[in-house]
Chain A
Amino acid sequence: AQKVTQAQTEISVVEKEDVTLDCVYETRDTTYYLFWYKQPPSGELVFLIRRNSFDEQNEISGRYSWNFQKSTSSFNFTITASQVVDSAVYFCALNPLGAGSYQLTFGKGTKLSVIP
């Protein structure tokens, strides 16, 4: 069975602060994908990143960065110099690739509020 845990239910930061959203996953599969999605107040789900389990390189995209550590089964997401537009619910998701599975298992999400 697979599981994704986002222990932080809600986080509030002041604009321009850095913030890290935690994601811990469980799977017996050795090959899997990890994802982050953003859900702004408008409600749509916006894809942010997909990471293959073979690729442990950290990734940076503008103010966003992701730290993938297989040893601790974590895939944490950091926003640098947060902005009000970053206020959203963020979901981490896991897709184990065993037996041809394509379904994503989501964490419960972390609601980020960036205060001006």
Chain B
Amino acid sequence: DAEITQSPRHKITETGRQVTLACHQTWNHNNMFWYRQDLGHGLRLIHYSYGVQDTNKGEVSDGYSVSRSNTEDLPLTLESAASSQTSVYFCASRGMNTEAFFGQGTRLTVV
């Protein structure tokens, strides 16, 4: 069965460190997304990609970057982790006429 997986599931890092969260999907979807979930804010879009070599900023992109070198993967990088980036991160992929499929989430704590 096709799936979308995130790793790690939990991560604790120190302020100022670079962190990369992995997202891998086997749906063969062109469209991939990163969201963060915070209490009182719901899910907010960080970055998205509509295909290989395509990346776009979302609503809360400051301090984050993504790259898309193949269809399956969209890693999210925190260039210099800050306490404000403590959150739960969700990756999603979507076909042209489908719902969005979400990974299990990554809980990131920046100390």
Contact = CB atoms under 8 A, between A and B. Distances in A.
B50 A91 contact: no
B100 interface: yes
A109 B42 contact: yes
B101 interface: yes
Given A43-B88, A47-B99, A102-B96, A91 B42 contact: yes
Interface residues of A, number: 18
Interface string A26-52: 000000000101000001110100100
B90 A108 contact: no
Interface in A38-93: 43-45, 47, 50, 91
14 contacts: A6-B42, A35-B99, A37-B102, A43-B105, A44-B105, A45-B90, A45-B105, A47-B99, A102-B31, A102-B48, A104-B45, A105-B45, A106-B43, A108-B41
A107 interface: yes
Interface residues of B, number: 23
Contacts of A47: 99-101
Interface of B: 31, 33, 35, 40-45, 48, 50, 58, 88, 90, 92, 94, 96, 99-102, 104-105
Given A43-B88, A47-B101, 12 more contacts: A35-B100, A37-B102, A44-B104, A100-B50, A102-B96, A103-B48, A104-B33, A104-B92, A105-B45, A106-B43, A107-B42, A109-B42
B41 A50 contact: no
A47 B92 CA distance: 12
A103 B45 contact: yes
Interface of A: 6, 35, 37, 43-45, 47, 50, 91, 100, 102-109
Nearest to B96: A102
A43 B41 CA distance: 16
B66 to A, nearest CB: 13
